[in-house]
């Protein structure tokens, strides 16, 4: 099965802490897809908050998202929305 990949820059001022990690995991659970997050050579199962937190992705970190499965394009679109909106973080 094809894998789609996209890179994102962590734009939240606190990085991928518990709240954004939880949002990622909740989003991914709704799709028939396997999602892996990469920060350098470290990988994380996007369905696991703990796994995401282990990446220690601070502000400005580059996260590569790899998705496979029947709903790979839909889950990538949903994750794109989260990252592009900084997980709806209020800056100020």
Tokens describing residue 16? 């991928």
Closest to 78 in 3D by CA, of 4, 32, 24? 24
Alpha-carbon distance 64 to 89, whole Å?
21
Alpha-carbon distance 25 to 17, whole Å?
12
∠ CA 51-10-4, nearest 5°, is 70
Give the residue numbers annotated as catalytic, written as ranges: 17
């Amino acid at each position: 099965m094809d894998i789609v990949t996209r890179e994102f820059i962590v734009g939240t001022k606190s990085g991928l802490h518990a709240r954004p990690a939880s949002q990622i995991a909740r989003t991914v659970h709704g799709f028939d897809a396997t999602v892996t997050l990469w920060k350098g050579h470290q990988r994380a199962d996007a369905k696991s908050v703990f796994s995401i937190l282990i990446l220690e992705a601070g502000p400005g970190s580059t996260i590569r998202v790899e998705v496979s499965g029947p709903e790979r394009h839909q889950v990538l679109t949903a994750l794109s929305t989260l990252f592009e909106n900084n997980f709806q973080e209020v800056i100020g």
